[in-house]
Structure 1
Amino acid sequence: MEKIMFIETGMGIDVHGQDITKAAVRAVQNAIHFNSMPGLRSVLPGNSLDNMKVNVKLAVPCDKEKLDSEVVKEALPYGQVTIEVMDGGMMTTSGVVIEEKGDKNDLMYIVVASVEVGY
């Protein structure tokens, strides 16, 4: 990325089911949910959202090999998206196991996201 215009951060949790992809998608959605960048198109090369680059950094506590990057990319409406996964986040108890919700144990997965937007 030549120029970073915005960095948005968020957190996502899968309370039941221990699904690292679900927590990551929620982290990305949390990062971008309350943002509007109406002037961004005017500074992008060619004034096109197709030229926007989005780099997503995900701090995950476990199951990196189970993270579906393509599903995470679908959470972003525009741009050329790249995903970078690193150690971080948190696992902590939810206090209960609910088998009907897919729980294998009482852990909830917490993922932290940084979404860099630029060109």
Structure 2
Amino acid sequence: MEKIMFIETGMGIDVHGQDITRAAVRAVQNAIHYNSMPGIRSVLPNNSLDNMRVNVRLAVPCDKDKLDIDTVKNVIPFGQVTVEIVDGGMTTTSGIVLKDKGDKNDQMYIVIAAVEVGY
């Protein structure tokens, strides 16, 4: 990315089910959910959202091999999206195992996202 215009951060948690993709999607949604960039088109090459670049950096505590990157990319509505995975995030106890929620154990997965927008 030549020029970063915005960086937003978010956190996502899968409390039950131990689904790292669900936690990652929630982290990205949390990062972008409260934002509007009405002037972004005016600074992009050719004033086109197709020229916007979005890098999603995810701090993931475990199950990196089970993370569905395409599902995470689909959360971003515009631009050319890349996803970078780094060590981080957290696992901790939810305090209870709920088999009907898909729990395999009592762990909840916490993922942190940084979403960089630019061109």
Q: Which residue of 1 aligns with 2:118?
A: 118
Tell me by how many angstroms 1:76 deviates. 0.6
Q: Render the CA deviation track for 1:36-74: whole Å, top value 9, x for unaligned.
A: 000000000000000000000000000000000000001
Number of residue equivalences: 119
Output the TM-score relative to the length of structure 1: 0.99
Amino acid at match of 1:103: D
- Give the letter for the 2:30 counterpart: N
Matched residue type, 1:98: L
After TM superposition, where is structure 1 displaced by more than 2 Å over at least 4 residues in a row? none
Mapped pair 1:37 → 2:37: yes
Gaps of 5+ in 1: none
Match of 1:109 in 2: 109
Helix, strand or coil for the counterpart of 1:36? coil
Q: CA deviation at 1:93?
A: 0.4
Secondary structure in 1 matching 2:2? coil
TM-score (norm 2): 0.99
2: CA distance, partners of 1:118 / 1:112: 20
Q: Report percent identity of matched pairs.
A: 79
> RMSD across aligned C-alpha pairs, in angstroms?
0.3
